[in-house]
Amino acid sequence: MKNKDSRGHVRGESLFLDDINVRQGTLCGLVFDSPIAHGKIKNIDYSEAEKLDGIVKILTHNDIPGENQIGGIIPDEPLFAEDEVHYIGQPIAFIVADTLSIAKKARKLIKVEIEELPVITTAKEAFEKGLFISPLRKFELADTTKAFEDCNYVFEGETFTNGQEHLYLETQGSYAFPLENGNIKIISSTQGPTQVQKTCARVLGLSMHNIEVEVIRLGGGFGGKEDQATPWAVMAALGVKVLNRPVKIILERHDDMRMTGKRHPYSSRFKIGLNKQLKIIAFEAEFLQNSGAAADLSPAIAERTLFHATNSYFIPNVKVTVHSCKTNLPPNTAFRGFGGPQGMFVIEAAIAKASDKLNVPAYKIQEANLLADGDEFPFGQIAEHVESQNSWKQATTHFNLPEEERKIAVFNQENTHAKKGLAIMPICFGISFTNTPMNHARALVHIYQDGSVGISTGAVEMGQGVNTKMLQIVAMAFGIDPDKVKIETTNTTRVANTSPTAASSTADLNGKALLKACELLKDRLENVVQQKLKLNPETSVSFKENSVWVDGKKSSLGWKQLVMEAFLKRINLSEHAHYATPQIHFDKSKEKGHPFAYHVYGTSITTVTLDCIRGTYEFDAVEIVHDFGQSMNPGIDLGQVEGALVQGIGWLTMEEISYDKNGRLLSNTLSTYKVPDIYAVPDKVEIVPLETEGNEMAILKSKAVGEPPLMYGIGAYFAIQNAIRAFNPNSRLKFDAPFTPEKVLLSLYEQN
C-alpha cells in the first residue's frame, strides 16, 4: 500500500501546524533569548519594547504560576532564565504581540546587561574542568586489563564526530488557545504530546487533565521534537493562561537553529587488542559527550552509546565509559540513532586503525569478529536470532565483493588524479526504549454503525509512514478496504500517558496495541456471527474482502451488515487496548539486563571516487542488505533506509556544525551549513531485503526501520579514508568527522 500521505503532500493539501485556521484575536509569540553564552544577568530593561504599539505583554519567569522548570530526566532547565544564562539562544522572555513584525521590533529594543563568565564549548574542556550533567556510566564485560596483556597487537587512538542539525522542514512551533473553565488546548508539532502536556501542567501549576495536546503531523522531527518541541508549547500555553487569549508561535529558521540543540558531538578515545587470527580480544573506549548546557535527553543518549559501543561484533573483554559533559551550547538532544551512531563510529575507527597498522583490509577484521547467536553483549543480553554473519555473507556475495575490489584496484592503477575507496559497514541496532518503563502504548478503535472505523494511537506521523502502517493493521485485521479506516489525530484526551514517537518503536508498540484492540472487537463480532448464522462453536469465522467467511468460504453476511447487527444487539463496538513489551528488563545498578526486544541487522558496501585535485568526492554506490524482518510496507521501509542512509552520509561528510569560542553558532544558515541534496545521493543505492523469518516481537514480524540504516552512512567516512590512502600513502589516518572536501584535500597532500 502506498503511503496514505503522499497524495496530500504532493498536492500541498496535507495540514501542518501552520495551516490551521486560528481563532480571531490570536496573538503572536516570539522568544527573546540570551545573546551571551554564559553570564550573570545584571539588568534587563523591557520598557522601550513594552511601549511599542501592538505589544500585549512580555512574559518572563516572574509570570510563571507553577515551576520554572522543563527538565525531563533531570530538573536542570528553566523555561526562562532567571539570574544566569548558559548558552546563546537560551530563552529569557516571551514577547506576545499582535503581529510578528511588531514582536521582532520589540525584541531589538530589549536591553540586557550580562556579566560574562567563562564559556566552554567542547566536551574535552568541560571534562578537564570536571563539569558534568550526570554521573558517568560504565559497561564492563570480563577483564580488559588482563586481556590486553594476552593480545598480540594493541592500538590506541582518538576520534571526534561532530553534531548534526535536524533541519526538519517544518520548524518548531505551537498554537494554544483557552477552553472553558481554565482548561487549555495546545496544537503542537511534537513527537511527545504527553511530554508537552505534563510539562505545561508543571509550569502552569495545573493538572494534566487541564491540558489537551493535539498533533496532526510533523514536517519532520528526526529526534529534534522528542523533547525540544516542549518549551514553545509551554510558552504559548503560558500566554493563554496569563492573557486568556489564543497564542501562536512558529520559530523562524534562524531562531530555530540558534535556540535548539542538535546531535551530540563526541570526543572519544579507544584501545583495541587483537590476536594473530584478527580476533578482537579486548576493547576499551571512553566517550566524552558534549551535552550542552542542560541534561535534556543526554543521559539516555549516553546510555545508548554504550549499548552500541561494540556494534555488530562479539568482543569478549570490554570496558566502555561515557561522560555527559556540560558546556555552554544549547542542550543537545535526540537525533536519529540516539547516541548509537556515535558509539559505532568509534569501534569502526578502532578497526580501521588496526587494519592500517597490520596492513590487512578492515573487512577482514570486521568479518572475523561478527556477532553470533549465544554471544553476550557487554550489557548482559544474550544475542538471539543474530543476522550479522547472514547479512554480511549475503551482501558480499550478492554484490560480489572480490569483483568490486578488483575493479577498484584496476581503477586506482590506471588513474593518477582520481582514486576509489571501499568500506563495509555492518550494523546492529537495539530496538526498545533503553528506559524499560517507556515501552508501552495504547490504541482506541471505534467501529461506527455503518462499518467504517476510526482509530487513535499514541503514534505521531512525522514522515516515517507510521499512520499508513496503523491503517494497514486495521484493514488487515477486519478484512476491510483501507478507505473505510480513518486515522485520527494524536490527542492526549483519546490516548493518554504516551511515550514519545521515538526509538524506532512506534509502529511496534502502537501497532501491537492496535492489533490487540482489533482482535478483541473481532472476538465480539465473531460471537454475533455464530448466533446470527447459527454456527456451532468449532466453525472458523474470519473477515476478508469486506465480508464474513465461514470455514474458509465467503458467506452472504457482509461486514457492514454484521456491524449493524452487532450494534442493534447493543454490542460494544469500541475498544481501548494496551501493549507493553514483554521480557525486557535492565538493572542500572549492575548495568546488566535484557533491554532490547530484538536487534536490527544489515551490511552495506560503500564505494567512493575522489577527485584528488579538488578534494571533492562522489559516492558511486551504496549496496545494502538490510534486515527488514518481513516488511509490512516495502515502499515505506525502502524510503526509510534511503533517507536514513543519506542523512548518515550527510553527518559524516558535509554537515559541519560550527560554534565560535564565544559559543555563537556560525553555521546558522543553509549557506554555511551544507546538507545533502540530490547531488549528494550516491549514484546507485541498491537495497536488498535480507531473507529471514522476521521476529515475533516486531509488529507482524516487520522490524523497526526508522533509525538503524542511518549507520550505513558511517561506511562513507571510511571509504573516503581508503581512497585518500590510495593517492597518498603518507597521509595520517584521521577519525575526525565530517570528512569535508577541505579536510580531504589537506589529507591528500599532507606529508607525514
Q: Is 215 in the site for ligand MTE (CB under 6 A)?
A: no
- Is the Cβ–Cβ distance between 290 and 123 less than 8 Å? yes
Residue 3 beta carbon to ligand MTE: minimum distance, rounded to whole angstroms: 10
Q: 169-208 mask for ligand MTE (x: CB under 6 A)? A: ----------------------------------------
- Is the Cβ–Cβ distance between 56 and 27 less than 8 Å? yes
Q: Please identify, among the stretches 59-67, 372-380, 560-568, 701-709, the one whose residues bind ligand MTE according to the rule CB under 6 A.
A: 701-709
Q: 8 or 75: whose CB is closer to ligand LUZ?
A: 75
Select from 434, 472, 490, 647 the one that contacts ligand LUZ (CB under 6 A).
434
Q: Is 451 in the site for ligand MTE (CB under 6 A)?
A: no
Q: Is 702 in the site for ligand MTE (CB under 6 A)?
A: no
Give the DSSP per-residue string, 222-233: TTTTTSTTHHHH
Whole-angstrom distance, CA of residue 240 vs CA of residue 262: 29
Whole-angstrom distance, CA of residue 597 vs CA of residue 433: 9
Contacts of 236 (CB under 8 A, 6+ apart): 29, 174, 175, 176, 186, 247, 248, 249
Select from 78, 223, 261, 602 the one that contacts ligand MTE (CB under 6 A).
223
Residue 438 beta carbon to ligand LUZ: minimum distance, rounded to whole angstroms: 6
Select from 202, 336, 446, 734 the one that contacts ligand MTE (CB under 6 A).
336
Q: Please identify, among the stretches 16-24, 297-305, 419-427, 625-633, the one whose residues bind ligand LUZ according to the rule CB under 6 A.
A: 297-305
Q: Is 650 in the site for ligand MTE (CB under 6 A)?
A: no
Task: Answer yes or no: 565 catalytic.
Answer: no
Query: 5-32: buried (b, 16+ CB within 10 Å) or exposed (e) per residue?
Result: beeeeeeeebeebeeeeeeeebbbbbbb
Q: 191 or 692: whose CB is closer to ligand MOS?
A: 191
**CA dist 183 to 29, 58, 236, 249, 483, Å?**
20, 22, 13, 19, 35
Q: 367 — phi, psi (to 5°)?
A: -65, -35
Closest to 274 (Cα-Cα) out of 158, 366, 340: 366
Window 478 to 537, contacts with ligand MTE (CB under 6 A): 501-507
> Which residues of this chain interact with ligand MOS, rule CB under 6 A?
191, 221, 223, 226, 334-336, 338, 502-503, 707
Query: 55-74: buried (b, 16+ CB within 10 Å) or exposed (e) per residue?
Result: bbbbbbeebbebbbebbbbe
- Is the Cβ–Cβ distance between 362 and 714 less than 8 Å? no
Q: Please identify, among the stretches 41-49, 432-440, 569-577, 716-724, the one whose residues bind ligand LUZ according to the rule CB under 6 A.
A: 432-440
Residue 430 beta carbon to ligand MTE: minimum distance, rounded to whole angstroms: 13
Residue nearest to ligand LUZ (CB): 338
Q: 311 or 434: whose CB is closer to ligand MOS?
A: 434
Paired with 270 in beta bridges are 157, 285
Query: 137-156: buried (b, 16+ CB within 10 Å) or exposed (e) per residue?
Result: bebbbeebeebbeebeebbe
Closest to 237 (Cα-Cα) out of 25, 81, 29: 29
Question: Please, what is the Cα angle at 366 between 361 and 369, to 5 degrees?
Answer: 135
**CB count, 10 Å around CB of 53?**
8
Catalytic entry in 67, 414, 707, 742? 707
Residue 191 beta carbon to ligand LUZ: minimum distance, rounded to whole angstroms: 9
Q: Is 502 in the site for ligand LUZ (CB under 6 A)?
A: yes
- Is the Cβ–Cβ distance between 598 and 695 less than 8 Å? yes
Type of residue found at 9? H
Q: Is 220 in the site for ligand MTE (CB under 6 A)?
A: yes
Q: Which does 466 bind (CB under 5 to 8 A by kind): ligand MOS, ligand MTE, ligand LUZ, none?
A: ligand MTE
Residue 432 beta carbon to ligand LUZ: minimum distance, rounded to whole angstroms: 7
Select from 92, 322, 349, 503 the one that contacts ligand LUZ (CB under 6 A).
503
Structure-block grid coordinates of residue 150 = 594476552
Binding site for ligand MTE (CB under 6 A): 220-223, 336, 462-464, 466, 501-507, 640, 643, 704, 706-707
Residues involved in catalysis: 707
Binding site for ligand LUZ (CB under 6 A): 297, 300, 304, 334, 338, 433-435, 502-503
